[in-house]
Amino acid sequence: MTYIKLSDLPLSVRKELPPGAQELYMAVYNRTWEQCSASEDYDPRNTAEIARKAALLAVETEYERDEHGRWRKASISKVLDTRKIRPQG
């Protein structure tokens, strides 16, 4: 199941993440869901979990928690460092 609008996201995602991070989460979740469901070895039981993990990883790459535990856009140096160690492919 993909998400159509931000209000369709799980409550925990909407409460925790700022709007930009919610948009990123939804885009990555939906793209991952579609790729998994088009795969030869599609397993619907795992698709939601794979999509959720991919979306959270994307958010953690672009956002970070501040000293109060709130998510905010990550500094450019953190984003570049994270991308440097991400496998290319």
At 45, which CATH number? 1.10.1740.70
| pLDDT band (50, 70, 90) for residue 6 | very high
pLDDT digits (tens, 9 = 90+) for 33-72: 999 989 888 887 789 999 999 999 999 999 999 999 999 9
DSSP output for the chain? ---SSGGGS-HHHHHHS-HHHHHHHHHHHHHHHHHHHHSTT--HHHHHHHHHHHHHHHHHHHEEE-TTS-EEEPPHHHHHHHHHHSPP-
CA gap 36, 44 in Å, rounded: 9
Q: Which residues make Cβ contacts (< 8 Å) with residue 46, sequence separation at least 6? A: 36
Structural domain span for residue 32: 11-85
Q: What is the pTM of this model?
A: 0.81
Residue 77 lies in a domain: yes
